Chain A
Amino acid sequence: MRRLGPKERFLDGYAKVAGWRLAPEMVAYWDVFANLRWAVITLRQARRHLTGRERSLELASIGRRCAEVEWELLRLIRAA
């Protein structure tokens, strides 16, 4: 959501085009879900390297991006 400008403006614009309004708690839920999904992806990519199935510096280093997603998840969960 960060890059889409203020959340209210985005929700207003969405409602205008779609004809119905997104509930803020629904947005909060999917915000958490999307970050959790990305966290799982980082773990899976790191595992491809760690199991030796696909040795790759990029895959290995993505494993350490998980902490950034965890940080964002904590922020979202606390705000919810």
Chain B
Amino acid sequence: MQDRPTAVELIEAVRDFLAGEVAPALADRSLRYRMRIALHALGIVAREVPDEEARLRAEREALLTLLDLPRPAPPCDPRLLRAWVLEANRALCERIRDGAADAGPWRERVLAHVQQAVDEKLQGSNPDFH
């Protein structure tokens, strides 16, 4: 366990420094524009790093149900979690491409699941999108 400041608190300190002290001193328009992109990117990191594992676990649970997969015990090793979710999302894509979600009740479940996943991505990448 690291001492404080945490990784997120350090990122927020860097963001405040760049936004408060560096950005106002930039005269070049193109640099100012790219500074805004950089600050936005740091904001994404600060929003996504906390609870990332919890969100991946929740997505894994939802995919297990949606794809009707056997529930292995013990729960997924945290180091393998990301790879597992990626692989399950590929399997979901294949089923959609095969036409399984073209109509019927599973279509509604897939739409709801993908909407949830997209809303969650937007919470990280651009919470002011709507």
Contacts and interface: CB of A to CB of B under 8 A. Distances in A.
A64 B44 contact: yes
Given A64-B44, A67-B126, A74 B118 contact: yes
Contact of A74 (B44, B115, B124, B126): B115
Q: Could you say which of B37, B41, B118 has the most chain A C-beta atoms within 10 Å of its C-beta?
A: B118
A78 B110 CA distance: 12
Overall SS of chain B's interface: helix
Interface residues of B, number: 17
B31 to A, nearest CB: 11
B125 interface: yes
Overall SS of chain A's interface: helix
Contacts of A74: 111, 114-115, 118
A71 interface: yes
B41 A57 contact: yes
Interface of B: 34, 37-38, 40-41, 44, 111, 114-115, 118-119, 121-122, 124-126, 129
